[in-house]
Structure 1
């Protein structure tokens, strides 16, 4: 299928491996070859495979945990600046085929706000922001902790993302040291993609929604990968059990369910989850408007994701990249040259609903 835009595609710089080296877990990944080399490559093998599989554009993001894995606030902020500057340079070499997600350190929401603004207003090529779940922090005694973004002090960051029309992608990362020891040390095969990633991101995202973040910032858009990190499958039970009589102090609007935010403020992608039954479930639960295409390269295969999507499970006709909007995030020149964003796994001739541009 032509016109594909892949939305969650990992990229790395050598400095990123200092906090966490994914090659210690999967030196060759699932696609063969050297994982570190595949992560750092943009214009070589990656682009060749895009050409061979009809991927018009990739949106790159710093490989997890990125800045969220760095406990020192200054070091994390420096990594964000370095990664974003290099990302802008890489994307600028071929802006027709690549765009980028801003990296931010989340120790201080004002610092995160400033970096987001710098990248969107002073740089070219950025269409969103990615945070890798919670931010690792340490207290004065060196004890490790976690910072989550449903706290109201992060409203300044969310407000800036809303103002910039910058979708924020919440991506998984490895568990913190204490959580790893308590939950996963005895069953390490479950900590990562098989279970732990989805569990932790689902908790974080649902915390953001039920804490009223989306209500306070109605223009904010949040994206989660891997077919929604289990949320679509559990959506009935989530809404059914968020009993307002029992949880009267829950800040989320009392006239809304979690389901109601999908397609306008919550979006999911297919990254690393090439299952047609799972997609059909997601479409039925959250709506086609809320589903976007992603691969999760180089942890997943570009051919595998592309062949799966070409199965036409959704009844879309084969069309050229101008009419087909599969992928959900399109890059266009705005009045001031900034790249604009649009959402939805859909086809203009098949789905007549209005698309936010």
Structure 2
């Protein structure tokens, strides 16, 4: 299977710790995830590219590793991290723009400033094809305030993404200290990619959809990874239970269901979830046009993600390549 495009692939700033960014040792000891996770995050044109060549990955879209600016509660600090990462990532991908592209990072403390930084990346930097937002924005003196983008105040940001045609990838991140203490203490093993990441991101995505954001901005496209963060498998129950007689103030268009947005404004990727039965279920629920290939490197293995298991998987890649070439999605 050739010409694969991978959309959720992590990279890190060399001086991430100084900016309050991700430190690989905070997630797991060295060697537990992908060998030398720190080195793999920094590498672009070495081992990463070699494995792309060996496994038929034509283009890799890179983004700053989670939580990025969303994990920085200080507004000025989050904005500095975003602009620094964007400058450095643009330079890195433009060393080989036929094989790499990028998603820009944004501080979401101020929706207007977020839109301005997106426009700077779009108009003044090179290599960007979309945005990555790592779930909610941490804020407040203790970092426990959570800013969500279904708030009407964020319409100024969504308007910019809609105008520029910049897809927004909503990626997981760790919970705040307060939420971790209240919900995950004693079950920390479930707080991350096994369960907690998906449960937090799917709430945020559904919040944005049901707030009517996609209706107000019909050119806006949202992407989530990990086979849809559980949503495709719950779509019947989600739509069945969002009863308008019970929730008359829900701002989503009254003539639409959540499932109606998939394939036109909402898309999922296979990042970090390489189950063929799960893929078949997702395709059955939301359609092949809503499903795209991805890896989640270096947290996941490029060879493992690239195994040819089904004809449907090959169809996803062909369709995704056509979408990308046309500019309809990233």
Counterpart of 2:63 (choices 61, 68, 77) is: 61
Equivalent residue, structure 2, for 1:179: 179
Provide the secondary structure at the position in 2 that maps to 1:93.
coil
Equivalent residue, structure 2, for 1:246: 246
Equivalent residue, structure 2, for 1:156: 156
Cα distance, 1:123 vs structure 2: 1.0
Note if 1:283 corresponds to 2:283. Answer: yes
Q: Structure 1 residues 295 and 72 mapped into 2: Cα distance closer, same or farther (>3 Å)?
A: same
Equivalent residue, structure 2, for 1:112: 114
Cα distance, 1:314 vs structure 2: 1.5
Maintained 8 Å contact 1:7/1:327: no
Provide the secondary structure at the position in 1 that maps to 2:102.
strand
Equivalent residue, structure 1, for 2:42: 40
Equivalent residue, structure 2, for 1:348: none
Q: Which has the higher helix share?
A: 2
Note if 1:197 corresponds to 2:197. Answer: yes
Structure 1: segments with no counterpart, 5+ residues: 333-339, 344-356
Note if 1:233 corresponds to 2:233. Answer: yes
Cα distance, 1:51 vs structure 2: 0.5
Equivalent residue, structure 2, for 1:50: 52
Cα distance, 1:36 vs structure 2: 0.5
Q: Structure 1 residues 238 and 24 mapped into 2: Cα distance closer, same or farther (>3 Å)?
A: same
Counterpart of 1:121 (choices 100, 119, 123) is: 123
Q: Aligned pairs, how many?
A: 327
Cα distance, 1:115 vs structure 2: 0.3
Cα distance, 1:29 vs structure 2: 4.5
Distance 1:316 1:305 in 2: 12
Maintained 8 Å contact 2:132/2:170: yes
TM-score for the superposition, normalised by structure 1 = 0.88
Cα distance, 1:311 vs structure 2: 1.6
Structure 2: segments with no counterpart, 5+ residues: none
Post-superposition CA distance 1:92-130 (Å, at most 9, x none): 100000000010000000110000000001111000000
Note if 1:341 corresponds to 2:327. Answer: yes
Cα distance, 1:146 vs structure 2: 0.4
Maintained 8 Å contact 2:167/2:220: yes
Post-superposition CA distance 1:262-309 (Å, at most 9, x none): 0000000000000001000100111000001000000000000001xx
Maintained 8 Å contact 2:73/2:143: no
Provide the secondary structure at the position in 1 that maps to 2:312.
coil
Note if 1:72 corresponds to 2:70. Answer: no
Maintained 8 Å contact 1:6/1:327: no
Note if 1:305 corresponds to 2:291. Answer: no
Q: Structure 1 residues 19 and 218 mapped into 2: Cα distance closer, same or farther (>3 Å)?
A: same
Distance 2:284 2:315 in 1: 20
Computed over aligned residues only, the root mean square deviation of the Cα atoms, in angstroms, reads 1.8
Cα distance, 1:185 vs structure 2: 1.6
Provide the secondary structure at the position in 1 that maps to 2:15.
helix
Distance 2:125 2:314 in 1: 36
Equivalent residue, structure 1, for 2:312: 314
Distance 2:169 2:150 in 1: 15
Maintained 8 Å contact 1:292/1:328: no
Counterpart of 2:96 (choices 94, 97, 108) is: 94
Maintained 8 Å contact 1:5/1:58: yes
Equivalent residue, structure 2, for 1:335: none
